[in-house]
Structure 1
């Protein structure tokens, strides 16, 4: 790519040092380990006609002066905010495909969070001056809502206008989190997670996969409907559930129906902007909210009410010390013999999307048997380390969602049934309280057929054949695995080993191989020839349970 001489964008501000926020620590870890194309944000904007190079440089400098997150580097849990300085803005001549290539280059390079300010800017220049700007930042700087706020400020500044007062800066937010009240909230969040992780199913998809050398290039299904937007308004009026909450409930209901589970745990990316002073915050606040959706009610309204209550509790407990949560996950994994899969993710980004036009021609009620206007289309594959993720693009005027699905876990035909089924359920729920028994006929989704040795143990669907493979791979020598009825667990899985190994070491070896084996859990009880019977929990220090690997099941939070 041809590159012209760069522009100098001058920024000003005071130098500051303080602890990193919980959101910064969480996402900085991911930025350092996950592929940069997953963790970096790219924004391309046309520039107003007549924009000069000096106006672009001034706007970049003002943006950085206004938001300390753009001047922040990270050093062992400490954030350092730069004072006055200069950022070089690249300038490239316009041409076929130039903008895309420049954006891909800026986004595709990992940020050095200790040595590089987290903003890259390039201008695409035509014969008459600047035409487009490319802005690239990263997830330790902003989340999706923070990015939308940052872009809104850019649009004001490049037009010579002054945005409103800035929200608290990250150093100030860290001080709030370190206050007695902030520490109490964080401790409560960890207690909530420990309780939920101790009882929910470990996976909803329960398909064993091998992620070695997997490129995470996934199909994406976009589904849209204006009729469902109208139905959501009626559902909200009838039940008090928010539009987003109703969509979440429908997603969990049908995923749980397919899995044959009475509870469907979903990770929802929480924006954590409940406090008024944080609503305009330009920084990473988004972290995981763990929402167990109860599907034991007779009809969908009961699921809506249960989801509303569960969501409130989950979102209130979605700001936490991510390193402490990883330790809790490891402790629960050792105690239960499971590895939480994080295989269903809900990411509502509609707040960052302008509302659609007013509804026209959408009747309050459809005629009996009339189909809602559900439109679906496959989008080009893109890379994202996820199993199944529902991204909400729009909820007002038109419901517009994108369903990402790993076809090894959710084949394309099932992805289509789930994406369109969510819309069909909501369209019908706008007219009546839909009995859960009606869902297979309404959506085409039925419980998975489980042949072989499937059973329920500790709320998890488990394939005994997969447990045998797990034990054989983890512990050398002959072994056998069986299940016996258990009043508390449903079934207790017993492993008999001939190898000279302790129950604790055998359990730790099984735990180490659990990631990716969503149809297996580690045995509850080990019997070793020549060694007294016993449980393998907790694992001893000499055979530690390894830290969770980076990726969709190792990351804690994001969005």
Structure 2
């Protein structure tokens, strides 16, 4: 069928349907009828195996045919009327697949203009596949997907499926035998079924209780609201560094730290306690928030993979959702015992929260505003936290720093790197990428939050807390802005 401009840009459509809650969780923050922000694209690189361009194009087509969300258009119209339209796989292949047959175009690292594609998701499929070829044979496929259609887990599935499709095209076998992948429209229909609505009632009840606990714990807290802070450290003379008010690029900022110490510390904590490294990083971030916000507790929204079935595990789509947790500051009295109790409680909150992360984001956001009141959208009760280990993020090899094991040789220099401003972003968020060899953690904030003045100290404090905890909490715990524990 053909859908006209009254419902969607002109396009042939195989089928249409509602959006999933996870898709809504993302698009509710994107202004309607605008380009999305390229910084939120999810990118990966897959070896081309030196196969002929034609075989690789056919393999990419196989993957697009398998996953409807990669060939869909999204009409954003609020909670009730947003729709997605699945297009025939052959309609826009020329727009999606680009062949760069040029010896000079090959780069060892993924640093290319198409990574910075700003998708217009109502008019474009949310994916690009750039084939880096020489002499008609493909050396690498660079994948760029808008976050509305994928998350890091989904990118791992996409890379696995593309590798499989390349192999089968090269050997002439059937591309994808066995069960079909779960499709976004089917998920959305399930979420709106009687069973899905029953789950929503339980999930929203859980959110109401947890937000009530956060609101009660923070009752009377005065939000921290310092003046705006510059992008980098005082005296930072990086070429092109902008200060607030000097650039029209936007008012969202970020910085990151690469740390071997924190990566190995997370593994040591996990082995000693049986608790996942994600809980240790989450607890450290919560303690950093408490230190900056001058509070004994902090409400954090941890991101859940939100995949609980075999079908979801085979799905290329955005599934991640948040769940509320309440975390303490580092206790000055008996800090070792307090840390171990807090870590166990943090892990328990993660486990229970995963069950109910897939909640209607419009309803949970309204709850946050109503229950948190004056703490709504403040640093003490609104930050996001994301954790990815190498099992999920390894295909996102563009995110790891350079080096034989993915980390530079001198990772103990405690250098925090600041990025240029951007037009869209998180008000407060920490993201952790973790390998046994090390970790990369980044902080995001908006100028309005004032976190820029403390961003560097926060990342270093998280690193110090991880190292201190891995030492079985020997000595005094580190302090925000301090020199860190001895190693």
CA offsets 1:229-269 (integer angstroms, 9 cap, x no match): 44434433443321110111112113213322121122222
- Mark the CA change 1:186 to 1:103 in structure 2 (over 3 Å): closer, same or farther: farther
Unaligned regions of 5+ residues in structure 1, if any?
1-13, 357-371, 446-559
Which segments of structure 1 move beyond 6 Å, counting only runs of 4 or more?
97-102
- Cα distance in structure 2, aligned partners of 1:257 and 1:303: 16
Indicate which of 79, 85, 93 corresponds to 2:84: 79
Secondary structure in structure 1 of the residue aligned to 2:472: coil
1:182-261 equivalences in 2 (<5 Å): 182-198=196-212, 199=215, 201=218, 205-207=224-226, 209=228, 215-216=250-251, 218-225=253-260, 227-261=261-295
- Cα distance in structure 2, aligned partners of 1:391 and 1:101: 20
- Mark the CA change 1:267 to 1:104 in structure 2 (over 3 Å): closer, same or farther: farther
Partner of 1:112: 121
TM-score by length of 1: 0.63
Shift of 1:95: 6.7
Secondary structure in structure 1 of the residue aligned to 2:415: strand
Unaligned regions of 5+ residues in structure 2, if any?
1-12, 76-80, 170-174, 230-243, 398-409
CA offsets 1:194-236 (integer angstroms, 9 cap, x no match): 44445064887533559985624635222312x5444434433
- Mark the CA change 1:405 to 1:174 in structure 2 (over 3 Å): closer, same or farther: closer
Would you say 1:409 and 2:457 are equivalent positions? no
- Mark the CA change 1:401 to 1:42 in structure 2 (over 3 Å): closer, same or farther: same
Partner of 1:138: 146
Partner of 1:341: 378
1:145/1:349 contact within 8 Å kept = no
1:425/1:442 contact within 8 Å kept = no
- Cα distance in structure 1, aligned partners of 2:195 and 2:362: 20
Indicate which of 398, 411, 414 corresponds to 2:438: 398
1:294/1:306 contact within 8 Å kept = no
Secondary structure in structure 1 of the residue aligned to 2:376: coil
1:15-164 equivalences in 2 (<5 Å): 15-31=14-30, 32=32, 35-49=36-50, 51-75=51-75, 76-83=81-88, 85-86=90-91, 87-88=93-94, 89-94=97-102, 103-105=112-114, 107-113=116-122, 115-160=123-168, 162=175
- Cα distance in structure 1, aligned partners of 2:416 and 2:161: 33
1:301/1:433 contact within 8 Å kept = no
2:285/2:462 contact within 8 Å kept = yes
State the aligned residue count: 410
Indicate which of 335, 342, 357 corresponds to 1:318: 357
Secondary structure in structure 1 of the residue aligned to 2:347: helix
Shift of 1:150: 0.8
Secondary structure in structure 2 of the residue aligned to 1:349: strand
- Cα distance in structure 1, aligned partners of 2:386 and 2:436: 16
TM-score by length of 2: 0.72
Shift of 1:278: 2.0
CA offsets 1:421-471 (integer angstroms, 9 cap, x no match): 322222222232468x633399558xxxxxxxxxxxxxxxxxxxxxxxxxx
Could you say which structure has the greater relative contact order, defined with CA pairs below 8 angstroms and 6 or more residues apart? 2
- Mark the CA change 1:403 to 1:441 in structure 2 (over 3 Å): closer, same or farther: closer
